[in-house]
Amino acid sequence: MTDQPLDPRSLRDAFGAFATGVTVVTTIRPDGKPLGFTANSFTSVSLDPPLLLVCLAKTSRNFAVMTEAKGFAVNILSDSQKDVSNTFARPVEDRFATVNWEAGPYGSPVFADVSAWFDCSLENVVEAGDHVILLGRVQAFEKSELNGLGYVRGGYFTPALNAKAVSAASEGALHLSAVVERDGEVLLVGHGKSLPGCRAVSGDPLQDLKTHLEELTGLSITLGFLYSVYEDKTDGTQHIVYRAFAGEGEVKCGHFTPPSALAKQSGAGSSGSPTADILNRFATESALGNFSIYVGSETAGRVHAISQKV
Ligand SMILES: Cc1cc2nc3c(=O)[nH]c(=O)nc-3n(C[C@H](O)[C@H](O)[C@H](O)COP(=O)(O)O)c2cc1C
């Protein structure tokens, strides 16, 4: 083996090909003031004990405080928080002036409107070249139904953008539906046989679907990643299915059904119908925590895996 000198700029670009979420890591300084920086090096490490990590550059102005703190919080930014990410990555005088935050149960600042936050004790600081690894033990956490903000190759991305691109590319009559989840269960309508959905009526099919779902269910709905795209060859209709997440409250129409019972739903469960296949696939994937996108016709197509770290 030879130790070829590597071009750091090029290596950095190569590392940047790995799509991540975006977090803001926070703590409280000895003088009581909050401190935080944007980090996409977050990784979940262990469930038992509950551990996570982030990497901190040794050049950070906050290096000494972060590595000597009793703990830190990791705020997973949601898709509307691009500005928060930018603020906490720049030399802004008071980074916290622009966010809604409070002290978490273990003391570090946790933000409003994030996808999730973890308030941790500092378990260990591991030497790692020009960075250190901050290993945190989760003392408290909270999650919301908001989609995360994505980051790849130096740019942000959101599920909504991805979905818009797909819907714009479709031709002919367009039918939209959703696998609407809440607490791990899926909403079925039409006597438990169908996924809720509607025809696209405006130039903004995603908004049509969201409005339809909110009117139908009486719940707040967040649209997630694209789940399935297929063409019904019998009538030429393009079907686009998204994942969606429902808020709390009593559902006006339909029932939330556990994935284990989806395959048994009469009608929807008999394999062959597109809805049955989607539900069967969803039941399998939610057990694995590994979702995928289906592209094809109602009878033949390909499933593209999206690995999802749990
Ligand atoms: C999307 C994104 C991800 C980043 N990830 C990290 C990271 O994982 N670790 C790190 O030390 N800096 C990371 N940075 C850079 C820091 O946010 C930035 O250098 C820091 O806020 C500088 O301020 P400070 O010296 O006050 O810490 C990231 C920046 C951006 C925009």
Query: All domains of the chain, ordered by start, with CATH?
Result: 8-152 (2.30.110.10), 159-305 (3.90.79.10)
Is the per-residue pLDDT at 264 higher than 70? no
Mean pLDDT of the chain: 85
Q: What are phi and psi of 9, to 5 degrees?
A: -65, -45
Is the per-residue pLDDT at 191 higher than 90? no
Using pLDDT thresholds of 50, 70 and 90, give the confidence band for residue 215. Answer: very high
Burial of 127 (0-12, 13-18, 19+ CB in 10 A): exposed
Q: Which amino acid is at 30?
A: P
Burial of 153 (0-12, 13-18, 19+ CB in 10 A): exposed
Q: Enumerate the β-bridge partners of residue 303.
A: 294
Task: State mean pLDDT over 120-127.
Answer: 98
Ligand 1 atom closest to the Cα of residue 62 is 27
Is the per-residue pLDDT at 206 higher than 90? no
Q: Which residue has the higher pLDDT, 263 or 19?
A: 19
- The protein residue whose alpha carbon is closest to atom 6 in ligand 1 is 39
Is the per-residue pLDDT at 97 higher than 60? yes
| Most ligand 1 atoms within 8 A of CB, residue of 18, 26, 38 to mutate | 38
Ligand 1 atom closest to the Cα of residue 86 is 31
Using pLDDT thresholds of 50, 70 and 90, give the confidence band for residue 113. Answer: very high
| Most ligand 1 atoms within 8 A of CB, residue of 37, 62, 76, 82 to mutate | 37
Distance CA 283, CA 287 (A): 6
Is the per-residue pLDDT at 81 higher than 50? yes
CB atoms within 10 A of CB 170: 16
pTM as predicted:
0.68
Q: Which residue has the higher pLDDT, 7 or 165?
A: 7
Task: State mean pLDDT over 160-187.
Answer: 75
Whether residue 251 contacts residue 230, with contact meaning beta carbons closer than 8 Å, is answered with no
Ligand 1 atom closest to the Cα of residue 38 is 17
The verdict on the CB of residue 39 being under 6 Å from ligand 1 is: yes
Task: State mean pLDDT over 179-188.
Answer: 90
Is the per-residue pLDDT at 145 higher than 60? yes
Ligand 1 atom closest to the Cα of residue 35 is 26
- The protein residue whose alpha carbon is closest to atom 27 in ligand 1 is 60
Q: What are phi and psi of 216, to 5 degrees?
A: -65, -45
Give the pLDDT confidence score for residue 268 in this predicted structure: 46
The verdict on the CB of residue 174 being under 6 Å from ligand 1 is: no
The verdict on the CB of residue 38 being under 6 Å from ligand 1 is: yes
∠ Cα 60 20 9 (to 5°): 55
| Most ligand 1 atoms within 8 A of CB, residue of 27, 60, 125 to mutate | 60
Give the pLDDT confidence score for residue 189 in this predicted structure: 93
Tell me which residue has tokens 């996108």: 293
Residue 303 zone, left/alpha/beta (φ > 0; ψ -120 to 50; rest): beta
Ligand 1 atom closest to the Cα of residue 56 is 11
Distance CA 273, CA 123 (A): 51
Distance CA 92, CA 94 (A): 6
Distance CA 173, CA 236 (A): 7
Is the per-residue pLDDT at 297 higher than 70? no
Is the per-residue pLDDT at 281 higher than 90? no
- The protein residue whose alpha carbon is closest to atom 12 in ligand 1 is 39
Distance CA 17, CA 89 (A): 19
Is the per-residue pLDDT at 241 higher than 50? yes
Task: State mean pLDDT over 220-245.
Answer: 82
The verdict on the CB of residue 42 being under 6 Å from ligand 1 is: no
Give the pLDDT confidence score for residue 306 in this predicted structure: 47
Tell me which long-range contacts 203-206 makes (C-beta under 8 A, separation of at least 24): 205/167, 205/174, 205/176, 205/240, 206/160, 206/163, 206/164, 206/167, 206/176, 206/242
The verdict on the CB of residue 57 being under 6 Å from ligand 1 is: yes
Tell me which long-range contacts 46-50 makes (C-beta under 8 A, separation of at least 24): 49/137, 50/137, 50/138
Task: State mean pLDDT over 73-85.
Answer: 94
Distance CA 227, CA 306 (A): 10
Residue 245 Cα to ligand 1 middle (Å) = 30
Task: State mean pLDDT over 7-21.
Answer: 88
Give the pLDDT confidence score for residue 168 in this predicted structure: 53
Residue 217 Cα to ligand 1 middle (Å) = 41
Residue 27 Cα to ligand 1 middle (Å) = 15
